[in-house]
């Protein structure tokens, strides 16, 4: 299947660059471009792309608010949103992640990282580079304001191991190798963790790990 992507950035050259890179990649097609957050939300609701790629800092409505409207906790059918930024450790990125974004990328991350993030988002995964995950969440997470709470039983020892690895940016395959279990088993544990923590994706689980004092 072809992954449809909506790009939102207030700089035309940036939008053009993303469009050319993505459309040259087999299996990915840019279906729309927006120059601000308001336009991005309208286009996303109308086009229902597989993945939204939003700049953080845009006029009229920033990427954080656009993300909240399309992927926030109250959205019945959320869209996968990847936020992009020029600035490493931008506090707005953490806000966008808490608003429902499934990952973030720096604009200079490179084409392979961009393709990887889009494929991960379209398949229901969340992608953040491990080093960026740790720095971002440790700098901006507030343990006193965790929005996620247990809705099930306490975590088992194995689930604690998996959720800690997940918060460090480890993939299912990497976690499976580390713990000498199958990838299918990891996926089962992750599904249970989502239910217990009350999270919708891996990013929210990573935020919960930091804000619950586990890291």
State whether 122 and 27 are in the same domain.
yes
- What band does 202 get if pLDDT is binned at 50, 70 and 90? confident
**111 and 25 housed in the same domain:** yes
Q: Is residue 167 part of a domain?
A: yes
CA distance 68 to 194: 20
Please check whether residue 163 lies inside any domain of the structure: yes
Given 94, 127, 160, the domain boundary residue is: 127
Which domain covers residue 21, as residue numbers?
Answer: 3-127
Domain limit, last residue, from 92, 127, 162: 127
Q: Is residue 95 domain-shared with residue 150, that is, in the same domain?
A: no
Helix (H/G/I), strand (E/B), else coil: 30: strand
Work out how many domains the chain is built from and give that number. Answer: 2
106-157 confidence digits (pLDDT tens): 888 888 888 988 998 898 766 555 456 556 666 666 655 554 555 557 899 9
Cα-based distances in Å from 5 to 32, 104, 134: 7, 15, 27
Q: Where are the alpha helices (DSSP H) in the chain?
A: 12-23, 37-47, 63-71, 91-98, 111-122, 130-140, 157-167, 172-179, 183-197, 202-211
Give dist(CA 72, CA 16) in Å, integer: 28
Q: What is the pLDDT of residues 149-187, one digit of tens each?
A: 555 578 999 999 999 998 887 888 899 999 999 999 999
Q: How many CA atoms lie within 13 A of 109 on its CB side?
A: 26
pTM summary value: 0.76
Same domain, 34 and 106: yes
The three state secondary structure string of 171-199 is CHHHHHHHHCCCHHHHHHHHHHHHHHHCC
Residues 91 and 182 placed together within one structural domain of the fold: no
């Amino acid at each position: 299947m072809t992954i449809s992507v909506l790009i939102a950035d207030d700089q035309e050259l940036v939008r053009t660059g993303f469009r050319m890179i993505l459309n040259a990649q087999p299996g990915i097609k840019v279906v729309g471009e927006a120059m601000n957050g308001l336009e991005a939300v309208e286009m996303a609701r109308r086009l229902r792309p597989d993945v939204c790629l939003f700049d953080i800092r845009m006029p009229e409505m920033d990427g954080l608010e656009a993300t909240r409207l399309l992927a926030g906790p109250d959205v019945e059918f959320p869209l996968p949103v990847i936020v992009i930024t020029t600035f490493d450790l931008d506090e707005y990125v953490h806000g966008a992640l808490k608003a429902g974004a499934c990952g973030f990328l720096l604009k200079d991350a490179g084409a392979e990282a961009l393709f990887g993030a889009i494929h991960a988002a379209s398949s229901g995964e969340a992608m953040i580079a491990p080093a960026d995950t740790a720095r971002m969440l440790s700098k901006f997470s507030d343990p006193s304001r965790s929005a996620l709470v247990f809705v099930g039983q306490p975590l088992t020892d194995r689930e604690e191991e998996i959720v800690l690895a997940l918060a460090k940016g480890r993939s299912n395959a990497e976690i499976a190798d580390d713990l000498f279990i199958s990838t299918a088993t990891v996926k089962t544990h992750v599904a249970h963790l989502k239910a217990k923590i009350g999270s919708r994706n891996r990013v929210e689980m990573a935020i919960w790990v930091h804000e619950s004092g586990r890291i």
